[in-house]
Structure 1
Amino acid sequence: MSSGEGSKHLDAVQKVYLQEAEISSVQNADLVTARREQICDAALELFLEKGFASTTIRDICARSGVNQASIYDYIANKNDILRRLLNQLWFGQDVQPLPRLLADESLSLEEVCAQYFRQTWRIKRKGTLLVYRSVPHLLDEDRKAMRARDMALIQDLAEQLRKRSGREVDDAEMDILANVLIFLAAFGPMRDWLIKGVPEETVVRTVAAGAAAMIRELIGDPARGA
C-alpha cells in the first residue's frame, strides 16, 4: 500500500476549520494580513506566557504594536484570535499524518515513528501547548470540532494498524494503541523541560524506539518480517 492511501476519516475532517469572524472594515487585504499576523503572533506569546484567561486585549495591543482603537478592524475578540491561531497551528496540514506514514510498509516502525515525532514536535509544539492551555476556554462548537479531528486521526491510525497487522477490524487494542501514539506525539514535547540539554534527535530516536517496540509487541512488523 502506498503512503498516500487510507486516512479517509482524516481527509474529511481536515476540510473543517474553526469559524473565523468576517470583518471587512479595512479594504487593503495586504494590510489586514500584516496586522492579523502581528496580532496573532503577539497573542500566541502571551497566551503561552500568561494563559488565555489572563491575557487582555490591552496586553495584545501593547505586545503587537497595534493600536487598541483599531484592533477590532482586524479581529472580533480574543476567541477570534484563538480560533485563528488554532486553525494555523493545530488544524494546519503541515505534518504528514501518522496513518499515511504507517501505510508505507517499506518503512520500519522505528522510521515511521521517528519521522512523525520529529515533524510533530518541531512544527506543532506551540500549537500543542496552546491547545493544552486554552481548551477550558474554548467555545463548545470549537471543542467539538477539535475532538472530531482527534477522533478521525485515531480512527485512521487504528485502521492502518489493523491493516499492517492483519487483525480484526473491531479489535479494540488497535484503538487503544492508536490513542497512545497520538498522545505521545501531542504531549511528548511538553515534558522536554525535564531533559534540557539532551539533543533533540536523541529524544526522538529513544521515544520512537519505545513506540515501535510497543506496536511490534501487538502487531509485529511486516517490513522487518516479524
Structure 2
Amino acid sequence: MAYGAVIMKQIASNMKDIPTQIKNPELVKRRRRQIVDAAVQLFIENGFHKTTTRQIAKAAGFSIGSLYEYVASKEDVLYLVCDAIHAEVERGVSEALKRTTRGREALAEVIREYFLVCHRMCDHILLIYQETQSLPPQWRRKVLENEINITGIFVKVLARLVETGNFPYINERSIELVAHNISVLGHMWTFRRWFLARHYSIEDYIELQTDFILGISTGR
C-alpha cells in the first residue's frame, strides 16, 4: 500500500474525531488528503506557528471558507498529519512481519523496514517532535499513544521470539527497554542525519544498528 493510500485510510479512521460539515465521507477523505499534503510541506518549511490556515487553503487549492468545512482549526490539520505518519510506520513494520517469521530474520526485517520508513519520512518525523506540543491536550495524548503503539509492535515481536527460544538472553523485564531502543535508534537517523548522512548510507546505518540490536538480543 502506497503512503498516500495509508494517509487516506488513516484520515478515514479519524473522521469521527474531527467534525466536518460535509456529509459525503469519500469527499471528506479526498479533501482532507489534499489539506494534509499541502500542510506537511508548509509546516516543514515555515513551522507550525508561522503557517496560517489561509496559506494551507491556498496550497491545497481551497478557499478559506471551504477549508473550514473539512477542519475546524490548524491544530486539526496537524493532528491529521501526525496520525498519518504514525500509520505509515505501523504499516511498514506490519508488512515486514508478514514477509518472515523466523527468529533473528524476523527482527532484522522489522528493524530494516522501520528504519527505511524513518529515512523516507525524516522531515515528517522531525515535525512531530517539534510540533506535538502545539496540539490541544486530547490530540497530543492520541499522538503520544500512537508512539507507544509503534513501540508495542516491537515488544510483541521480541516477546514472541523470546517465547520460542530465539533470544534466550532477553528476559521479560528487558523486552520493553529493547523495544524502545529500536524505536529511538530509528529516530536518531532523523535527528542526527545532518552528521550521520555524511558518513553512512542508510544501508550502512541499518546494517550496523541491526548488528548492535541483535547483539543485545543474543548476548553477544
TM above 0.5, one fold? yes
Q: What is the aligned counterpart of 2:81 among 85, 93, 103?
A: 85
Structure with higher helix content? 2
Cα deviation code 1:76-102 (max 9, x no counterpart): 111111122222222344312499478
Return the TM-score normalized by structure 2.
0.72
Contact 1:39/1:60, CA 8 A, preserved across alignment: yes
Structure 1: how far apart are the matches of 2:196 and 2:140? 31
Please give the TM-score of this superposition, normalised by the length of structure 1: 0.70
Q: CA deviation at 1:110?
A: 5.2
Larger RCO: Structure 1 or Structure 2 (Cα < 8 Å, ≥ 6 residues apart)? 1
Q: Would the alpha carbon gap of residues 220 and 169 (structure 1) be closer, same or farther in structure 2, given more than 3 Å must change?
A: closer
Listed one character per residue, the Cα deviations across residues 120-158 of structure 1 (whole Å, up to 9, x for unaligned) are 422x43431221221111222222223333334334424
Letter aligned with residue 36 of structure 1: R
Contact 2:182-2:213 within 8 A present in 1 as well:
no
Q: Which amino acid aligns with 2:209?
A: A
1:40 CA displacement: 2.0
Structure 1 residues 159 and 169 mapped into 2: Cα distance closer, same or farther (>3 Å)?
A: farther
Report the 3-state secondary structure (helix = DSSP H, G, I; strand = E; otherwise coil) of the residue aligned with 2:36. Answer: helix
- 2:125 aligned residue: 128
Structure-to-structure mapping, 1:63-142, within 5 angstroms: 63-92=59-88, 93-97=90-94, 100=97, 103-105=101-103, 107=105, 112-122=110-120, 124-142=121-139
Give me the CA root mean square deviation: 3.4
Tell me which moved more, 153-162 or 36-45: 153-162
Structure 1 residue runs of 5 or longer lacking an equivalent are 1-15
Question: Percent identity of the aligned residues?
Answer: 22
* Paired residues of 1:17 and 1:91 also in contact (CA < 8 A): no
Q: In structure 1, how many angstroms separate the alpha carbons of the residues matched to 2:59 and 2:180? A: 38
Q: Report what 1:55 is aligned to.
A: 51
Q: Which amino acid aligns with 2:122?
A: R
Question: Which secondary structure state, in structure 2, belongs to the residue aligned with residue 55 of structure 1?
Answer: coil
Residue of structure 1 equivalent to 2:206: 208
Shift of 1:56: 1.2
